[in-house]
């Protein structure tokens, strides 16, 4: 049994070692999850777009989908952190605490077993000592009896010697009897302790060790389950992240991306017209015989080389002026005039310049900039930006002006709402002087009115510029339509907006067109951080919210409060999706957070 006790000692130690081994495994798994989540977050941070100014490239659906995928991946990394945290708290931490308790309990049970074994050994030693003493006294008594019998049978022995031997025999016999009684008592005591040890104490200790080992096994089973549950709990959220990635992939629209590119780079310039044919060979063929094929002469036709060169020179191509092929300069010796019988004069070119001109026409190709240079030229404006955006092409200028008008209208609406709120507050103060001084609102009201006048002037000025641009675009469209019918090239100069006129002091004006709606990129340039929520409210009655700046709500709907009622009867609220607006204070039940400051 002592050997079995040692075996149980080894087995329980192996159980604790196995428990700690599994705890080490869980710890390494937690580190893997944490490193994985950290690397995913770093990856998302590396490729996530940074906050940029408003004049940034348009957001294509493919880019938006990629950014949504990055957001979903960031949420996925957060779920990996949740898995690591759950494993650390529910599995690893529990295992380490239980391992410490298990070691303490095992040590206590083994000490009890060793104490019981030591006590049994002590009883056995006492019994063995009494046995040996009894055996020794018995031998001494036997020797004394033999000595007495020998002296008693010896006739030469004196009576005194016989009497002494008899007394010695009696003493040894008495001592042997006492040791016998002691040995019997020790033997009886040892047998009782041994029976108690093997039938009561040791089984109880073994049972406690068994229960301890079984609890260890149950704890391992629970940790195995918790290990799996930590992963299973986040599976629904991870599935939503993956579904979000799939939806982002499905949201990619190639036609919309193409339209964005068209809208971004649409300049509004007219395409270049056809080059006129300049006949330099009329007077050359005039000296040839009548059998030679020549170009028939047109009555009253004049070729003005300066005007012709000016036409080609002033034309603008889609991405700038067409590169003009370099040709040798015309010298006075190669250009001269000749009179015809009817008195008309024609410019005469020599054979060599005509050869160069024809070869340039055949081989000269306009050099179109690359897409990258176009993008850089569009977003990185050369020179300082003008207030009226006259440095931009007509179509882009129209968009910028429309965008600025929309922003000014929004600011004007805000100022108007603020003015109405101040007027209402002033009326409340006049009716209830204890609530405040009405004159204290006059400076703010005056400032608001001044801001409204300034914004109206800005809107009027920008609308004038917009009408000018739209009128010129309409005039160019009419001229381009007539040019397509008659195949004529418009002559004259080019205005900064790309319109062509006959005189530098006269420009074609068209009727102003209806303003277009804001660009679809406006939402992307809203970089203002949302106001923090200071409480929440529940709608008591439904509110339609038809007016601009108000927020529609249903009965029972819960909203965030981001600005308290300033005394005008309106409270600013926000939905869960980020939509903000004003709702009537009497229509809602407001609950403000403690220790919160007003907006």
Mean pLDDT check: name the lowest of 25-29, 150-154, 256-260, 554-558.
150-154
Q: Are 87 and 30 in contact (CB under 8 A)?
A: yes
Q: Is the pLDDT of residue 106 over 90?
A: yes
Average pLDDT of the segment spanning 32-41: 95
- Beta strands 535-539 and 588-592 are antiparallel
| Tokens matching residue 72 | 């979903």
Contacts for 350 with CB less than 8 Å, ≥ 6 apart:
333, 334
| Tokens matching residue 7 | 């075996």
Contacts for 131 with CB less than 8 Å, ≥ 6 apart:
183, 186, 187
Q: Is the pLDDT of residue 335 over 60?
A: no
User: Whole-angstrom Cα distance, residue 475 to residue 488?
Assistant: 16
**DSSP designation for 543:** B
Task: Write out pLDDT tens, residues 373-430.
Answer: 333 333 433 444 577 787 777 777 888 888 889 999 999 999 999 989 988 888 888 8
Exposure b/e, 66-79, CB count within 10 A at least 16 = b: bbbbbbbbbebbbb
Q: What is the pLDDT confidence band of residue 592, given thresholds at 50, 70 and 90?
A: confident
Nearest to 91 by CA among 192, 224, 207: 224
Under CATH, what is the fold of the domain 4-259? Substrate Binding Domain Of Dnak; Chain:A; Domain 2 (1.20.1270)
| Tokens matching residue 96 | 């380490």
Average pLDDT, the chain: 76
Task: Write out pLDDT tens, residues 248-296.
Answer: 999 999 999 898 888 878 777 777 788 888 888 877 755 554 444 444 4
Sheet holding 588-592, edge to edge: 580-584, 570-574, 558-563, 535-539, 588-592
Contacts for 271 with CB less than 8 Å, ≥ 6 apart:
318
DSSP, residue by residue, 548-580: TTB--B-TT-EEEEEE---SSSEEEEE-TTS-E
Q: pTM above the 0.85 mark?
A: no
**Residue 153, pLDDT score:** 84
Task: Write out pLDDT tens, residues 445-478.
Answer: 899 989 998 999 899 889 888 888 887 666 655 6
Nearest to 16 by CA among 223, 198, 177, 216: 216
359 backbone dihedrals φ, ψ, rounded to 5°: -70, -35
Average pLDDT of the segment spanning 108-129: 92
User: Whole-angstrom Cα distance, residue 134 to residue 182?
Assistant: 8
Contacts for 536 with CB less than 8 Å, ≥ 6 apart:
558, 559, 560, 561, 591
Most confident of 249-258, 430-439, 513-522: 249-258
Mean pLDDT check: name the lowest of 227-231, 295-299, 406-410.
295-299
Q: Are 512 and 398 in contact (CB under 8 A)?
A: no
Q: Is the pLDDT of residue 218 over 90?
A: yes
Under CATH, what is the fold of the domain 535-592? SH3 type barrels. (2.30.30)
């Amino acid at each position: 049994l002592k050997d079995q006790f040692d075996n149980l000692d080894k087995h329980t130690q192996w159980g604790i070692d196995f428990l700690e081994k599994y705890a080490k495994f869980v710890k390494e798994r937690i580190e893997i999850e944490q490193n994985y989540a950290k690397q995913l977050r770093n990856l998302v941070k590396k490729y996530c777009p940074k906050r940029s100014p408003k004049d940034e490239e348009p957001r294509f659906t493919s880019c938006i989908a990629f950014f949504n995928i990055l957001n979903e991946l960031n949420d996925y990394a957060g779920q990996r952190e949740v898995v690591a945290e759950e494993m650390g708290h529910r599995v690893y931490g529990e295992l380490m605490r239980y391992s410490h308790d298990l070691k303490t309990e095992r040590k206590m049970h083994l000490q009890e077993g060793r104490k019981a074994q030591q006590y049994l050994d002590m009883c056995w030693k006492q019994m063995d000592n009494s046995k040996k003493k009894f055996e020794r006294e018995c031998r001494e008594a036997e020797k004394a009896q033999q000595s007495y019998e020998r002296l008693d049978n010896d006739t030469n022995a004196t009576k005194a010697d016989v009497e002494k031997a008899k007394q010695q025999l009696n003493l040894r016999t008495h001592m042997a009897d006492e040791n016998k009684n002691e040995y019997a008592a020790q033997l009886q005591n040892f047998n009782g302790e041994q029976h108690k040890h093997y039938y009561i104490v040791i089984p109880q200790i073994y049972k406690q060790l068994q229960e301890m080992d079984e609890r260890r096994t149950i704890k391992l089973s629970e940790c195995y389950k918790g290990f799996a549950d930590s992963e299973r709990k986040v599976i629904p959220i991870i599935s939503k992240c993956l579904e979000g990635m799939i939806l982002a992939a499905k949201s990619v629209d190639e036609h919309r991306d193409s339209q964005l590119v068209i809208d971004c780079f649409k300049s509004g310039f007219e395409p270049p017209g056809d080059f006129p044919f300049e006949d330099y060979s009329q007077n050359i063929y005039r000296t040839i015989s009548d059998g030679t094929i020549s170009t028939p002469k047109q009555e009253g036709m004049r070729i003005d080389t300066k005007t012709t060169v000016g036409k080609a020179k002033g034309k603008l191509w889609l991405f700038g002026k067409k590169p003009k092929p370099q040709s040798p300069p015309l010298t006075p010796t190669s250009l001269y005039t000749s009179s015809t019988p009817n008195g008309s004069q024609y410019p005469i070119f020599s054979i060599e310049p005509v050869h160069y001109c024809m070869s340039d026409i055949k081989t000269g190709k306009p050099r179109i900039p690359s897409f990258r240079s176009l993008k850089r030229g569009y977003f990185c404006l050369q020179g300082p930006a003008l207030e009226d955006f006259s440095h931009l092409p007509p179509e882009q200028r129209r968009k910028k002006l429309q965008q600025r008008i929309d922003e000014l209208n929004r600011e004007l609406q805000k100022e108007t709402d603020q003015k109405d709120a101040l007027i209402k507050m002033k009326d409340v103060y006049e009716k209830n002087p204890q609530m405040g001084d009405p004159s204290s609102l006059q400076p703010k009201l005056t400032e608001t009115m001044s801001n409204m006048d300034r914004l109206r002037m800005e809107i009027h000025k920008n609308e004038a510029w917009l009408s000018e641009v739209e009128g010129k675009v309409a005039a160019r469209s009419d001229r381009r339509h007539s040019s397509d019918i008659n195949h004529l090239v418009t002559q004259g100069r080019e205005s900064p907006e790309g319109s062509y006129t006959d005189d530098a002091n006269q420009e074609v004006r068209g009727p102003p067109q209806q303003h277009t709606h804001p660009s679809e990129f406006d939402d992307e340039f809203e970089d203002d951080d949302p106001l923090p929520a200071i409480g929440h409210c529940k709608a008591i009655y439904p509110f339609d919210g038809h007016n601009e700046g108000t927020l529609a709500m249903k009965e029972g709907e819960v909203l965030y409060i981001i600005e308290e009622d300033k005394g005008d009867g309106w409270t600013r609220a926000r939905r869960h999706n980020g939509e903000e607006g004003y709702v009537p204070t009497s229509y809602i039940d407001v609950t403000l957070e403690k220790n919160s400051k007003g907006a």
